[in-house]
Structure 1
Amino acid sequence: MSRRGWLLFAAMCLLWGIPYLMIKIAVDGVSVPVLVFARTAIGAAVLLPLAARAGGLAILRAHWRPLLAFAALEIIGPWWLLSDAERRLSSGMTGLLIAAVPIIGVLVVRLFGDTTPLGPVRWTGLGLGMAGVLLLAAPHLGGGTGWPVVELLLVAIGYATAPVIAARKLAEVPNLLMTASCLTLAALVYTVPAIVTWPRELPSGAVLLALGGLGVVCTAVAFVLFFELIREVGPARAMVFTYVNPAVAVTAGVLLLGEPLTLPVIAAFVLILTGSVLATARQREKVPAVAAVAQPCPAAD
């Protein structure tokens, strides 16, 4: 990989590893609707001028149904659930649970009709990944944090399903145009809820910086660099950074928010990471292997 490719790769590891930290800071000062509205509106405002092109509206009209489905599964639903879950869970744990997306993606593509045999390596990966998720989730299922865990699993299902829709139904839509239009749609959806729950006082500087960082850095800039990374190294190699994001999320939470780094968290990280790598590995069999489902942003993610 070229030096430019490595720089883009390192940037994506950081930019899509720190949103969990920023969300954790932001939800302490504003409501979930305000957070999601701010992130999507800022991101759309930055990306729309870059995505504007002749014939763009015609492309969007021709694909509005899959675009709506993609936006709902990638942004509108997940970013609400993710932000709401972080009101009660640590940012590191959130990042680790979302790291299960590649594992869930392997199961999702089978629901969409893929019949490729998984093989022992990928089955082992699925088992290890699910064990890691259970290790994280089990202590919370009997208490008040059970619902946030369910919210994050729903986010992971959405993140795993949206790329399948994009690959099958939105291949003709330019990536930047698709992202900008989906962010715009999400901002419109959250406009009224954000107005109703708008803070009566100006949030703290940390909260405002977190909201700005989420919208500009972790959404707009991250998407632009993501598409550059795909052009530089190809989609398969570009998605490897998603295996590093959980480590960034956990490290940021420990160093900047004082979140605990326990043995179960470390063990779950190893299990989920190993499981993701094995579950999405290409098989050396006569039957052609199905490419791993690309993990989207936290959001992208």
Structure 2
Amino acid sequence: MTARGWFLFSLMGVVWGIPYLMIKVAVDAVSPSTVVFTRCALGAALLLPFALRQGGLTRTARAHWRPLLAFACIEIIAPWWTLTDAERHLSSSTAGLLIAGVPIVGVALARFFGDTERLGVRRVTGLALGLAGVGVLTVPHLTGGDARSLAEVLVTVVGYATAPLIAARHLKDVPSLQLTALCLTLAALVYAPAAALTRPAAVPSAEVLAALAGLGVVCTAVAFVAFLELIREAGPTRATVITYVNPAVAVAAGALFLDEPLTAGILAAFALILAGSVLATAAAPGRRPRREPDAPDPDGGDRAEAARTPAP
């Protein structure tokens, strides 16, 4: 991978590792609906003009409105609210580590929806390790009134793992920029009434406003653009490896900026989930991986691969 590729990879590792920190800061002062609306509205405002310049946005929306609606609901509208609401009670590091289980759930869902590839001992071991890591992380919270928060994160994980299946089967012909802009716009419209009803009585602090701006501008709009460039530079398979880097950033950010505890349990859970994700998503033994093109087009056939890495 080139120096530019490594720069983009490092950038994405941070950009999609810090949303959990920003969500935690913002949701302590404003409602989850306001957080999601602000994030989606800012992202849509920045990306929609570029999507319009591509042309054919209205035609795309009309031709693919059913899968677009399903993708928006499962990838953004439901998961972003449940994740944000869960962080009212869970630490940002815990949320980030639980989201790391997305690749594991993705493997299980792919099997359920007809993936005929043999799992093998390696991938089964990975699933078991990942589930053990989730157990280590969640059991201490079950007695503290956080069962609902854990269930909300589970909804988020299932959504992030399911949405790529929709993109791969029904949205392969939709340019990634148009797909993202349309979904963010729809999500912003959905949450606008709730955000208006639950708006804070006073202007939030500068810290909260900065967190909201960071979520919308950096972690949504800029992140999607940078990720598309990373796919161009390194290919879709290497690009999705950031899924394994983001949780480490989430844990470190929570410990550094929010004084969240970095316990032995968290470290053990991180090791188990990371190892499980790597093993569960590895190619089956004896199966030759598909050769990556030198310069994949993020607006072409590789956009389904791009969708496999969730935006937190």
Q: TM-score, normalised by structure 2?
A: 0.93
CA distance in 1, matches of 2:28, 2:126: 36
Q: Does 1:48 align with 2:28?
A: no
Deviation at 1:196, TM superposition (A): 0.5
Which residue identity lines up with residue 161 of structure 1 in the other structure? Answer: T
Q: Please name the residue that 1:19 is paired with.
A: 19
CA distance in 1, matches of 2:192, 2:225: 25
Q: Please name the residue that 2:272 is paired with.
A: 271
Q: Is the CA contact 1:73–1:161 (under 8 Å) kept in the aligned structure 2?
A: yes
Residues 204 and 288 of structure 1: is their aligned pair in 2 closer, same or farther, counting only changes over 3 Å? Answer: closer
Which residue identity lines up with residue 44 of structure 1 in the other structure? Answer: A
Which residue identity lines up with residue 90 of structure 1 in the other structure? Answer: S
Q: Please name the residue that 2:179 is paired with.
A: 178
Moved more, 57-66 or 96-105: 57-66
Deviation at 1:115, TM superposition (A): 2.1
Name stretches of at least 5 consecutive residues in structure 2 with no aligned partner.
291-303
Aligned pairs (5 A) from 1:1-301: 1-52=1-52, 53-285=54-286, 295-297=308-310, 300-301=311-312
Residues 221 and 237 of structure 1: is their aligned pair in 2 closer, same or farther, counting only changes over 3 Å? Answer: same
Q: Is the CA contact 1:116–1:287 (under 8 Å) kept in the aligned structure 2?
A: no
Which residue identity lines up with residue 4 of structure 2 in the other structure? Answer: R
CA distance in 1, matches of 2:306, 2:138: 24
Residues 35-81 of structure 1 deviation map (CA, whole Å, 9 limit, x = unaligned):
10000000000000111122221112111100111001110000000
CA distance in 2, matches of 1:234, 1:288: 13
CA distance in 2, matches of 1:288, 1:246: 26
Residues 293 and 61 of structure 1: is their aligned pair in 2 closer, same or farther, counting only changes over 3 Å? Answer: closer
CA distance in 2, matches of 1:277, 1:209: 34
Residues 114-139 of structure 1 deviation map (CA, whole Å, 9 limit, x = unaligned):
12210000000000000000111111
CA distance in 2, matches of 1:266, 1:158: 26
CA distance in 2, matches of 1:254, 1:292: 32
Q: Is the CA contact 1:133–1:268 (under 8 Å) kept in the aligned structure 2?
A: yes
CA distance in 2, matches of 1:46, 1:3: 27
CA RMSD in angstroms comes to 1.6
Deviation at 1:104, TM superposition (A): 0.3
Residues 186-231 of structure 1 deviation map (CA, whole Å, 9 limit, x = unaligned):
0000010001001110000000000000000000000000001011
| Percent identity (aligned) | 61
CA distance in 2, matches of 1:93, 1:119: 30
Q: Is the CA contact 1:100–1:133 (under 8 Å) kept in the aligned structure 2?
A: yes
Which residue identity lines up with residue 194 of structure 1 in the other structure? Answer: A
Q: Is the CA contact 2:168–2:305 (under 8 Å) kept in the aligned structure 1?
A: no
Q: TM-score, normalised by structure 1?
A: 0.96
Which residue identity lines up with residue 163 of structure 1 in the other structure? Answer: P
CA distance in 1, matches of 2:305, 2:217: 29
Q: Is the CA contact 2:136–2:265 (under 8 Å) kept in the aligned structure 1?
A: yes
Residues 292 and 198 of structure 1: is their aligned pair in 2 closer, same or farther, counting only changes over 3 Å? Answer: closer
Aligned residues: 298
